[in-house]
């Protein structure tokens, strides 16, 4: 059986890391596409030369030609610009929307059967635009945010409780922005929900609130430290987890930016929700019952996403 083909649109910090992880995990043959001449070719060659040491059997190719992504099974999109210190994800809207148009057309023409994972920010609006521009089925186009935000939350919680992060589960819903909703009630240490851990005196509500806020600011914290770009290791790992779930039909229950058309009382919006990812793409959206305060946070986040989608429609008439 032929190896799966993975197209990575954008060969920058995240794109290069995606290629490295996909190669080490032998998920399939990899094509790195970028408009910057030489960059995808250089990264593909450098990574291929690590193959004899790592012992992976996949081919890597760098290109400026969309024809090379033909027939890709998975397509992960990071093309665009990342933020600089002081910028919010939303500041990237205008420039990255144009990039999504070009990328969407490339995908539509060359790999219409792919499972597409968008990482470009502002995430929820960009994945919406990418689905419209590409015309692919909605269950085959989703965005990576919830896995990353939940991983950040899990890391901070594991540090606070002094336990292995393997025993910490966390759920972050809503848009991938300042209004994201880390759900403490559905986050646990070895199955014990966080509110119970506060009651048991293992941590305090204040400390938990600070961790929730640090999770919301997780991306900005990295931008502030790096100064020249945004996070790339954890975003890449998170998208690879989603790609693997699709390629291996794992039926993973992962939070991601998916098209929601009745669950959570929503009508046709891309936003972070729990989903099942398998061979059918986003096979199901899990409609969690939210409590009043959680619903209020979720609604605020949904409003922020709706605002960005409206802004996109204002910039590009074909989206209206």
Under the binding rule (CB under 6 A), the answer on residue 188 touching ligand APR is no
Separation between Cα atoms, residue 38 and residue 58, nearest integer Å: 20
The separation between CA 31 and the C-alpha centre of its own chain, rounded to angstroms, equals 19
Q: Which of 20, 110, 155, 176 is catalytic?
A: 176
Provide the token pair at 68.
Answer: 């090379």
Residue with tokens 């399939």: 28
Separation between Cα atoms, residue 293 and residue 50, nearest integer Å: 50
Q: Which is nearer to ligand APR, 4 or 122 (CB)?
A: 122
**Are 76 and 119 spatial neighbours (Cβ–Cβ below 8 Å)?**
yes
Q: Was 295 annotated as part of a binding site?
A: no
Which one of residues 7, 8, 9, 304 is an interface residue with ligand APR (CB under 6 A)? 9
Q: Was 11 annotated as part of a binding site?
A: yes
Q: Was 78 annotated as part of a binding site?
A: no
Under the binding rule (CB under 6 A), the answer on residue 12 touching ligand APR is yes
Determine the interface stretch with ligand APR among 74-82, 197-205, 241-249, 288-296 (rule: CB under 6 A).
74-82
Under the binding rule (CB under 6 A), the answer on residue 80 touching ligand APR is yes
Least CB distance from residue 62 to ligand APR, whole Å?
11
Under the binding rule (CB under 6 A), the answer on residue 119 touching ligand APR is yes
CA distances in angstroms from 145 to 37, 223, 282, listed in the order given: 29, 16, 14
Q: Which is nearer to ligand APR, 92 or 282 (CB)?
A: 92
Which one of residues 121, 131, 134, 150 is an interface residue with ligand APR (CB under 6 A)? 121
Q: Was 162 annotated as part of a binding site?
A: no
Neighbours of 220 (CB within 10 A): 18
Which one of residues 5, 6, 8, 13 is an interface residue with ligand APR (CB under 6 A)? 13
Q: Torsion angle of alpha carbons 103, 259, 168, 77, nearest 10°? A: 0
Under the binding rule (CB under 6 A), the answer on residue 99 touching ligand APR is yes
Under the binding rule (CB under 6 A), the answer on residue 87 touching ligand APR is no
Scan residues 223-242 and list those touching ligand APR (CB under 6 A).
229-230, 232, 235
20 flagged as catalytic: no
Least CB distance from residue 209 to ligand APR, whole Å?
26
DSSP 161-207: HTS-GGGEE--EEB-SSTT-EE-GGG-EETTEEHHHHHHTTSS-HHH
For residue 137, give every residue at least 6 positions away whose Cβ sits within 8 Å of its Cβ, in sequence order, or none: 281
Point out the annotated binding site.
Answer: 10-15, 34, 83, 89, 96, 119-121, 152
Active-site residues, by number, are: 176
């Amino acid at each position: 059986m032929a190896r799966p083909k993975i197209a990575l649109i954008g060969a920058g910090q995240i794109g290069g890391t995606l290629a490295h992880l996909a190669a080490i995990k032998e998920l399939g043959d990899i094509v790195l596409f970028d408009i910057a001449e030489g960059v995808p070719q250089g990264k593909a060659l450098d990574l291929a030369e690590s193959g004899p040491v790592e012992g992976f059997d996949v081919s890597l190719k760098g290109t400026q030609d969309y024809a090379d992504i033909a027939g890709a099974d998975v397509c992960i999109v990071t093309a665009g610009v990342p933020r600089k210190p002081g910028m919010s994800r939303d500041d990237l809207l205008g420039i990255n929307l144009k990039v999504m148009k070009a990328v969407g057309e490339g995908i539509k023409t060359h790999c219409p059967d792919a499972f597409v994972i968008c990482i470009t920010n502002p995430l929820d609006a960009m994945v919406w635009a990418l689905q419209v521009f590409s015309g692919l089925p909605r269950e085959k186009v989703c965005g990576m945010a919830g896995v990353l935000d939940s991983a950040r939350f899990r890391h901070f919680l594991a540090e606070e409780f002094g336990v292995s992060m393997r025993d910490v589960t966390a759920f972050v819903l809503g848009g991938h922005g300042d209004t994201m909703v880390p759900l403490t009630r559905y986050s646990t240490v070895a199955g014990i929900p966080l509110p119970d851990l506060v009651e048991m005196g293992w941590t305090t509500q204040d400390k938990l609130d600070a961790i929730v806020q640090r999770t919301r600011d997780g991306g900005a914290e990295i931008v502030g430290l790096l100064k020249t770009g945004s996070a790339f290791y954890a975003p890449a790992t998170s998208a690879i987890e989603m790609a693997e779930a699709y390629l291996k039909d794992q039926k993973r229950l992962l939070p991601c930016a998916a098209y929601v058309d009745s669950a959570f009382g929503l009508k046709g919006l891309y936003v972070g929700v729990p989903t099942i990812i398998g061979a059918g793409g986003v096979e199901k959206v899990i409609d969690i019952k939210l409590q009043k305060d959680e619903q209020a946070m979720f609604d605020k986040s949904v409003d922020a996403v709706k605002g960005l989608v409206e802004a996109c429609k204002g910039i590009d008439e074909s989206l209206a």
